Structure 1
């Protein structure tokens, strides 16, 4: 009897393992996300600081709408009516230096707001659309663009002068101003019969005549663009120069993606992107000297290292390379507040160099102020891409510029004196800085950083010349902050690992307590006890500490099997303490854990949030350290968490699908099965902007592509593979898996299957597609890792 009693707990344990269940199901969690509740996004303040606006959906509408919470009315929540919403934005708005004045476009008019006097007035009504409004150094003067030229309105004299004379035609064929053609019979009769039409035409002629009478042109000089389209036309604040960009796009063949279920009933082609290895697009910056009446272009030939070759060329000694200037892209210029100086960002097309330069406006020559070289590729928070962007601008003193750089291995904020060249790091440490901006009084920096932990984001204030940072937010997780117009309050969209986003408001001071304004979780969503996964680091074979999210099952349900999830995008972070954009996968991981699986979600090499070395860890070898991190994660689970050999699966989408393929093709001894979703199978078929950063181009670096593309390793498939792909995917084309499937057929592989989704693009939309895909994934793991019958 005693022996039978001793065996009873063991039998109960085995019974619990055999019947492990979950209150969740794939159909349940993959429904339209509205079942979870409504969560705020895209928040901003009203101009008086009394209201917070945000996207929301408390009335179960087909899509999110604009809502507001009125802080002056006991935090009253209401949907914004369209009549109010259209008054919230001021098109083409611009402020003066102290932000006491604002100009904006209303139709073809320019409106001036005086925030101190609380008045609004129309400055001018133009006869054609206006754009690019701005205050000049003399704030009584305002520049605007119209008809491909720059005009200046003087608020004192109430006159308009034409600053530039630019024609889209050719000098050789220009015959001056064309006179109006003689009206034909139909037009003459129309004007004779219809008085209102006749009056409108006469009014337009008078408007044009008035425009001609009030504009001032200093010379007869005209710059002819020879048919090229100019962009970014701007006037220097001192009104001595105008600059513009000429964009010459690369002429490359795009890929046609067939849509087999078009509403027309015919197969229609969707015009998609071109492939990696394209010839470069070109941006030239022109300078229009308004004093000398001449136009010339920025030159880059004197940039230090402009002819430097990347290190990888040593792998191709047989190639003969001529010494020549590398192709570059230019962005800017950005003028100093007084207009006397200008800076330009230059980026090499091969992604190895970023130069920050001062532009000599009189000659077009560039003086290098800072050069960042990276033998992998230039990147990181605030750095900007090939066509500019990122953190980059002037201090109000007209002497210093600010920018971000990964010079220390982490993206930090720098200040540089243009005259002396002295550079100062305003932030430092093993963390990253995001979205810094100056306070209105220019005494402080505000920024978000990961100083507390790579998996947290907090909002800080710092003296303008650097120093101690004050942490203004206190909630553990992600704090997405928008500062009120008077800079006295913070509007925070906050979330935690198992808590979707909610809106909070807080006073702008250290230690202030945030007040929650929304509570959007549905009762149905709250009914389940969503896990707070452990954030851990395990040891990689090369000594790196790899971050991961770990989901551990109840010991009574543990089945000895594990699933490793691989996030997409490559440069993306998913091991953090806030609500994941992979919320469906997060819920699926809760379901798996309920069923007894151990789940590991890894921020492998190349993931965001961990500095330059982590970011570039896959340079010239995708499927190298990013894949070995998955293998080391599997070994960690077997060594530390009782996961059994032969019972490990892997899955992921996009980049995660690519890693899944590489795992099954190269490490069948570790991974028994895997689901590759919308996966890249050959990097030579992906886009240029992403792929060329990491692998260079197929023509220049075929070694990198050969060792990084799954299609070359398909013969190594041992385990069970599920391929799932949307057929109208315009990002990772359906062609990718078609080519791979033919390769698998020719290799005689029969342990794989494919699920196709005719109406889905790269990001699935239909709940039925999500449910079908994840039921197949769950079935794959249950049948191959637990040997359950289908």
Structure 2
């Protein structure tokens, strides 16, 4: 009897080990994603709203192709022949104000489609490339740019007139260079000897002088750029002004990334980005006054706060800070429909200020309409980047502009009257607005928001001057809508947490049900019961409620170990109710849960989807609240979900790899093991556009870089570390982990290993690389977090 009792624990252990199995394996889930099926993307409508075109792959082709569904027979999905696909391509397509006419270039012709008559006609042929095709305020007239100048085609007279005279050369010096040049001996002798030659030469000189006198008397004006190339050349709708941009790139040293496996057999250097701390590029906005024949430039000198110093200067009392005009990036002017007004978005190079301004077209002076100041950095959905972009435009009344701002703490849609200065929030609340656009009749807004829940996206309609929003979609998850040209139908790319994207069709009415058009999951993929992770919140040490995805194993399989996943990109949302872009990691989490692990996937501070304060929670300290959120997540697992102390691992790629390093270097008492994939190890070596927003620059704010870079904390490594990195990573350079590995060697650390992937960039491509990497991650966790018997 005693012997049987002794054997019982061993039997129970063997049974537990046998039950902790999975139908999944790393080899299985990390194959080419085609095994999962085919999933639609990039939907677009035919002009008549009778067909939906989308990228798909029903025939196991090497890549997705264009497919279509006829609304008359929605059950039939057919591949688009290349001839039809070519006919659909209408580059530089531009509509008039009521969308009844469309103009575009095809080969050497400019064509116009009459949408109502279903007719197409060639307006004219042109001999050079054309850009910026646009209807003017008088819609019988069409402007276009070609050869560095603007032309106008009149549909009534069929005439084409050149309205600007711009030369990329330098302005000639005063006088006739040919006439003023000293005549050589041979030419002088020849003219003296040969009378006919002399007479012809004199006639040529007189003819040239006459032509010059006519030109001068006519007052013809030429603007010389002095060798600088212009871009964004456009004509105001009232045809009184042209504007253009001159971009002068900064000269910054780039980093060379060696490619050791180039097809040539030689090591070839890839010329990649520079490091943070760039000198700013310069953008100038020129105004060409067509009435006064003169060119002048927009001035930013009078922007309010242009010389403001950032708050962080107080941390450097020993340094003298000069108040000077900050470098500013300007967007191209956006004209009102009648052309009488224009707005320009200006951003300080340090991205702490965004000004929306009205430009005085006769002087180039800017009048500030709205200033958004953020001592961290200006950002958020629809707010745009350093070179413009985002939500910005005019209502047809020529008085109201619209834009998005985080003024309230969340990105919302605003109207502003340029005459009165009155600003009105069209949306409000603790949610965000995405991709708003006007209906064709300009009476309504269409917009996507997270009003229902931060983890859901729905499509709405709202009156143009504000009012109640009508929720048009109803499926829980992500509803990515493409509106039909006649605005009667919605094409929806819909997905849920455990259901990849499919294409749906719905009437553009409240309360109507969406019809599923595709079913792309393979039978093999559907054979596994993919988990719908729980969306939970836990308390952070500062009182914030942190959102997370939680994967819980069956009680019989639970092994007391946990893995925390850290998503990449920093500003990205992964705690939501739709199919994740991290689908491989999602499948890996299902595998881990099958094996008895508890898995937590956190939208830590700096993640997208939760407003300004969450977005900027890492300002001047990456590895601060974003790291403490991981620690608090671990405490949540210990307290609420029966996880055993000492059995918690952590992993992630890119920003997630950075956090993994900081976790193992600073919290070895919490995290036993970690896998840092393609990780930043020293923020002074990352790019400018991302890093300078968060940490300023290493020259101006070294404190922020010193406390944010893992390489400075490597001596704290206690647990077990796996480093994995692609050797041709042009985003986070392989140099990052080379420098860190040398530091670990010098510190005498022996509890780490590094796996390198010679053919991989930042985002892995080869299934063999994914498989190798995740086998190593699983081996790390199994060997260090599970009990040894």
Q: Which whole-Å deviations, capped at 9, do the CAs of 1:252-303 have from their partners, x for residues lacking one? A: 0110000000000000001110000000011100000000000000001111
Whole-angstrom CA distance in 1 between matches of 2:219 and 2:553: 80
Secondary structure at 2:331 match in 1: strand
Q: What is the alpha-carbon distance in structure 2 between the residues aligned to residue 129 and residue 538 of structure 1?
A: 58
2:732 aligned partner: 732
Matched, 1:112 2:112: yes
Following TM superposition, by how much is the alpha carbon of 1:118 offset from its aligned partner in structure 2, in angstroms? 2.1
Q: What SS does the aligned partner of 2:88 have? A: coil
Instruction: Give the 3 Å change call, closer, same or farther, for CA 735–159 of structure 1 in structure 2.
Output: same
Is the Cα–Cα contact under 8 Å of residues 107 and 129 in structure 1 kept in the other structure? no
1:558-582 CA-partner distances (Å, limit 9, x unpaired): 0000000000000000000000000
| Paired residue secondary structure (2:587) | helix
2:684, 2:86 → 1: CA distance?
45
Partner residue in 2 for 1:668: 668
Q: 1:579 aligns to what?
A: 579
Tell me by how many angstroms 1:74 deviates.
Answer: 4.1
Aligned-residue offset at 1:73? 2.7
Residues 491-500 or 124-133, more deviating: 124-133
Shift of 1:766: 0.3
Structure 2 counterpart of 1:629: 629
Corresponding residue of 1:239: 239
Residue 132 in structure 1 maps to residue 137 in structure 2: no
- Conservation of the 8 A alpha-carbon contact between 2:74 and 2:517: no
Q: 1:64-105 CA distances to partner (integer Å, 9 max, x unpaired)?
A: 111111111343211111101111121111111111111111
- Do the aligned residues in 1 keep the contact of 2:562 with 2:647 (CA within 8 Å)? yes
Q: Which residue of 2 aligns with 1:83?
A: 83
Do 1:328 and 1:346's aligned partners in 2 also have CA atoms closer than 8 Å? yes
CA contact (8 A) 2:456 2:477 kept: yes
CA distance in structure 2 between the partners assigned to 1:538 and 1:462 by the alignment? 35
Q: Call closer, same or farther: CA 1:757–1:3 in 2, change over 3 Å.
A: closer
| Aligned partners of 1:17 and 1:559 also within 8 Å | no
Cα distance change on mapping 1:176 and 1:517 into 2, 3 Å: farther
Q: Distance in 2 between matches of 1:719 and 1:492?
A: 46
Query: In 2, are the aligned partners of 1:377 and 1:616 still within 8 Å (CA)?
Result: yes
Deviations 1:342-388 (Å, cap 9, x if unpaired)? 00000000110000000000000000000000000000000000000
Aligned equivalent of 2:195 = none
**Cα offset for 1:120?**
1.3
C-alpha displacement of 1:443: 1.0
Residues 304-383 of structure 1: pairs in structure 2 closer than 5 A: 304-383=304-383
**Cα gap change, 1:742 to 1:3, in 2 (>3 Å):** closer
1:451 aligns with 2:434: no
Q: Within 5 A, what are the aligned runs for 1:390-429?
A: 390-429=390-429
Find the counterpart in structure 1 of residue 210 from structure 2: none
Which residue in 2 is equivalent to 1:253? 253
Residue 323 of structure 1 and its aligned partner are, at CA, apart by 1.7
What does residue 46 of structure 2 align with? Answer: 46
Identify which range, 3-12 or 169-178, moves more after superposition.
3-12
- Displacement, 1:172? 2.7
Is 1:156 aligned with 2:153?
A: no
Work out the CA distance in 2 between the residues paired with 1:468 and 1:582.
35
Deviation of 1:129 after TM superposition, in Å, equals 1.9
CA distance in 2, matches of 1:52, 1:80: 11
Residue of structure 2 equivalent to 1:462: 462
1:693-713 alpha-carbon deviations (Å, 9 max, x no partner): 000000000000000000000
Asked whether the 8 Å contact 2:285–2:297 carries over to 1, the reply is yes
Conserved? CA contact 2:96–2:139, under 8 Å: yes
**Residues in 1 aligned to 2:3 and 2:447: alpha-carbon distance in whole angstroms:** 66
Give deviations 1:622-658, integer Å, cap 9, x for gaps: 0000000000000000000000000000000000000
- Does structure 1 retain, via aligned residues, the 8 Å contact 2:19–2:556? no
Aligned to 1:487: 487
Cα 1:335–1:743 change in 2 (3 A) is same
Is the deviation greater in 157-166 or in 652-661? 157-166
5+ residue gaps in structure 1? 179-216
CA contact (8 A) 2:221 2:293 kept: yes
Secondary structure at the residue paired with 1:87? Answer: helix
Partner of 1:273: 273
Matches of 1:756 and 1:556, distance apart in 2: 37
The CA deviation at 1:740 is 0.1
Residue 332 of structure 1: SS of its match in structure 2?
A: coil
Distance 1:240 1:71 in 2: 46
Structure-2 residue corresponding to 1:181: none
Deviation at 1:128, TM superposition (A): 1.7
Report what 1:93 is aligned to.
93
* Counterpart mapping for 1:472-483 below 5 A: 472-483=472-483
In the TM superposition, 1:778-789 aligns within 5 A as 778-787=778-787
Shift of 1:131: 1.6
The verdict on how the C-alpha distance between 1:579 and 1:150 changes in structure 2, with shifts beyond 3 A counting, is: same
Secondary structure of the equivalent of 1:538? strand
Alpha-carbon distance in structure 2 between the residues aligned to 1:173 and 1:44 = 55
Would you say 1:284 and 2:284 are equivalent positions? yes
Query: Which whole-Å CA distance do the structure 2 matches of 1:722 and 1:177 have between them?
Result: 71
Q: 1:203 aligns to what?
A: none
Distance (whole Å) between structure 1 residues aligned to residue 525 and residue 18 of structure 2: 27
Contact 1:252 1:279 in 2 (8 A): yes
Judge conservation of contact 1:782–1:788 (CA < 8 Å) in 2: no
Are the aligned partners of 1:283 and 1:329 in contact in 2 as well (CA < 8 Å)?
A: yes
* 1:497-576 pair list within 5 angstroms: 497-576=497-576
Residue 117 of structure 1: CA displacement? Answer: 2.2
Q: For residue 685 of structure 1, report the CA deviation from its aligned partner.
A: 0.2
Could you report, residue by residue, the CA deviation over 1:714-773 in whole angstroms, capped at 9, with x for unpaired residues?
000000000000000000000000000000000000000000000000000000000000
Q: 1:562 to 1:346 in 2, by over 3 A?
A: same
User: CA, structure 1 residues 74+314, in 2 after alignment: closer, same or farther (shift >3 Å)?
Assistant: closer
Give SS of 1:715's match: helix
Displacement, 1:332? 1.8
The aligned counterpart of 2:66 is: 66
Asked if 1:613 corresponds to 2:600, the answer is no
Tell me by how many angstroms 1:218 deviates: 7.6
List 4+ stretches of structure 1 deviating above 2 A.
1-15, 172-178
> In the aligned structure 2, how far is the partner of 1:622 from the partner of 1:523?
43
Q: Distance in 1 between matches of 2:769 and 2:751?
A: 23
> How many Å apart are 1:17 and its aligned residue?
4.4
- Secondary structure of the residue aligned to 1:476 is coil
Whole-angstrom CA distance in 2 between matches of 1:118 and 1:162:
31
The offset of 1:57, in angstroms, is 0.5
Aligned to 2:593: 593
Matched residues in 2 for 1:707 and 1:414: separation? 38
Q: Deviations for 1:610-629, whole angstroms, at most 9, x for unmatched residues?
A: 00000000000000000000
State the SS of the aligned residue for 1:273: strand
Q: Distance in 2 between matches of 1:19 and 1:536?
A: 27
Alpha-carbon distance in structure 2 between the residues aligned to 1:305 and 1:65: 51
Q: 1:500 to 1:74 in 2, by over 3 A?
A: closer
Q: What CA distance in whole angstroms lies between the structure 2 residues aligned with 1:684 and 1:175?
A: 54
Closer/same/farther in 2, CA of residues 681 and 175 from structure 1, 3 Å limit? farther
Shift in Å at residue 787 of structure 1?
4.4
Q: Distance in 2 between matches of 1:218 and 1:513?
A: 67
Report the equivalent of 2:644: 644
Gaps of 5+ in 2: 179-216
CA RMSD of aligned residues (A): 1.9
Q: Does residue 295 of the first structure (1) align with residue 261 of the second (2)?
A: no
- Assess, with a 3 A threshold, how the Cα gap between structure 1 residues 565 and 176 changes in structure 2: closer, same or farther: farther
1:263 maps to what in 2?
263
Q: Which residue of 1 aligns with 2:701?
A: 701
**1:387 and 1:565 mapped to 2: Cα distance?**
33
Measured at CA, do residues 251 and 274 of structure 1 come closer, stay the same or move farther in structure 2, by a change above 3 Å?
A: same
Whether contact under 8 Å (1:108, 1:130) holds in the other structure is no
Q: CA deviation at 1:108?
A: 2.3
Matches within 5 A, 1:215-234: 219-234=219-234
In the superposition, relative to structure 1, how do residues 74 and 41 fare at CA in structure 2: closer, same or farther (>3 Å)? closer
